[in-house]
Amino acid sequence: MGSLVALCVLTVVLGFVKTELQNKEFTLGGNLTLKPAALTSSITSITWKHDDNLLAEQLTSDSKPDYYPPNEVRISLNFKTGELSIIKLTEKDAGKYYVEINNVIQNVGYQVKIIKRVTAPTVVVPPLACSETSTNCTVDCQGDVTGAGTVRYFWKEDDGDWKESAKRKEIKNDADMQTIKEFFCKVKNSVSDEESPATKNPFYKPETSSSVGYIVAGILIILGVIVIGAAVAYKKGFFWKCVQKTYKTTGKSYAEAAKLLIKPKESNSPATGADGGSATEPAIKSDPAPTPSPEPL
Ligand SMILES: *[C@@H]1O[C@H](CO)[C@@H](O)[C@H](O)[C@H]1NC(C)=O
Ligand SMILES: *[C@@H]1O[C@H](CO)[C@@H](O)[C@H](O)[C@H]1NC(C)=O
């Protein structure tokens, strides 16, 4: 008697295992493919059922599959692998799918949901509740998620990482928050995800001390470049004028006039060759301009 009860319980348990369904979500308008669990032998006959209705069946390897209703053109069955495919899914394709292979109902079935893709959300900042002077406020990631199944929400600040969070998010007007320029949110379901455009953080303060510091540093660098540039230009111009003056007063060529200016010591004895040059050359770059002063102007 006890063993009979045990057998009944076992049967019920096995029966339950047989009808256990795996959840699957597919996109409305998209395609579905369902595979039987690993096969132990090759298929000699196969039947797919949708809820309690016959959907696709092929009873011998050399026959063609039958589909139901017979005018259904969206379904296809692969006799070798047992895979069932349906294209252009509609909401009516949702439900329970069972497969029977070689006259044995398989212990893996599917509970199919047909869901919509999510649409791009927007971050909504309530204008009255969220001003620069608020201590805190709640921002909302709004998008159309009807028929999209289970959705998850993610948030991002400026170039930061996406972090999973709730649809609505409280932000506090503190020093950290004031450094953030923009928010983004993202909605995700099992078949799609979409990001919002950037939304301005109502608490952002551009004039923080560090940013002022960067601006001041930037201005100083630019000023420095201008001053150095002007000095170089001035020196070059000055040197050139001296060359011209020397050219006019001495009647020498520009090149010789320039040499005279660069090597003032040799100017009195032009015969001096190049060997004196190497000794005086290091002085050239440090002050080429003051040298023409002995020349008559
Ligand atoms: C669905 O399957 C058909 C036929 O195989 C293919 O042409 C189409 O691109 C598929 N659609 C999607 C969204 O994968
Ligand atoms: C947020 O602000 C409201 C009033 O604007 C206040 O009642 C609430 O306590 C604040 N929440 C936090 C966490 O500071």
Higher pLDDT, 169 or 207: 169
Question: Is the pLDDT assigned to residue 276 strictly greater than 50?
Answer: no
Closest ligand to the CA of 87: 1
Q: How far is CA 90 from each of CA 49, 55, 93, 130, rounded to the nearest angstrom? A: 17, 15, 6, 42
286 Cβ closer than 6 Å to some ligand 2 atom: no
133 Cβ closer than 6 Å to some ligand 2 atom: no
Compute the residue count for the chain.
Answer: 297
- What is the overall mean pLDDT for the chain? 81
Nearest CA to ligand 2 atom 8: 136
Nearest CA to ligand 1 atom 5: 87
Closest ligand to the CA of 135: 2
Which pLDDT does position 20 carry in this prediction? 85
Considering only CA atoms, give the Rg of the chain: 42
**Region 8-27: what's the mean pLDDT?**
67
* Test site for ligand 1: of 33, 87, 192, most ligand atoms within 8 A of the Cβ: 87
Closest CA to 271 of 263, 281, 279: 263
**Which domains occur in the chain, in start order?**
17-115 (2.60.40.10), 122-200 (2.60.40), 209-286 (no CATH)
Which pLDDT does position 39 carry in this prediction? 85
Which pLDDT does position 25 carry in this prediction? 96
- Looking at the chain, the whole-number percentage of residues with pLDDT higher than 90 is 57
Beta bridge partners of 100: 47, 105
Closest ligand to the CA of 170: 2
Atom index in ligand 2 nearest the CA of residue 134 equals 5
Cβ neighbours, 10 Å, residue 53: 10
Encoding tokens for residue 222? 């630019």
135 Cβ closer than 6 Å to some ligand 2 atom: yes
* C-alpha dihedral (242, 247, 253, 259), degrees to nearest 10: -40
Ligand 1 centroid from CA 84, angstroms: 14
Question: Is the pLDDT assigned to residue 256 strictly greater than 60?
Answer: yes
Nearest CA to ligand 2 atom 1: 136
Ligand 1 centroid from CA 259, angstroms: 82
Closest ligand to the CA of 174: 2
Pocket of ligand 1 (CB under 6 A): 30-31, 87
Beta bridge partners of 98: 49
Ligand 1 centroid from CA 32, angstroms: 9
Ligand 2 centroid from CA 135, angstroms: 7
Would residue 95 be called left, alpha or beta, if left means φ above 0 and alpha means ψ between -120 and 50 degrees?
left
Q: What confidence tens digit (pLDDT) does each residue in 110-142 have? A: 999 999 999 999 999 998 889 889 999 999 999
pLDDT band at 269 (very low <50, low <70, confident <90, very high): very low
Q: What confidence tens digit (pLDDT) does each residue in 172-209 have? A: 999 999 999 999 999 999 999 999 999 999 999 986 55
Which pLDDT does position 271 carry in this prediction? 47
Q: How far is CA 27 from the centre of its chain?
A: 24
Angle, helices 209-250/254-262, rounded to nearest 10 degrees: 120
Encoding tokens for residue 175? 């020093």
Closest CA to 292 of 252, 270, 251, 259: 259
Atom index in ligand 1 nearest the CA of residue 31 equals 1
Which pLDDT does position 177 carry in this prediction? 94
pLDDT band at 246 (very low <50, low <70, confident <90, very high): low
Which pLDDT does position 110 carry in this prediction? 97
Nearest CA to ligand 2 atom 11: 136
Higher pLDDT, 121 or 232: 121
Q: Is the peptide bond prior to 127 cis by the omega test (within 30 degrees of 0)?
A: no
Which pLDDT does position 224 carry in this prediction? 75
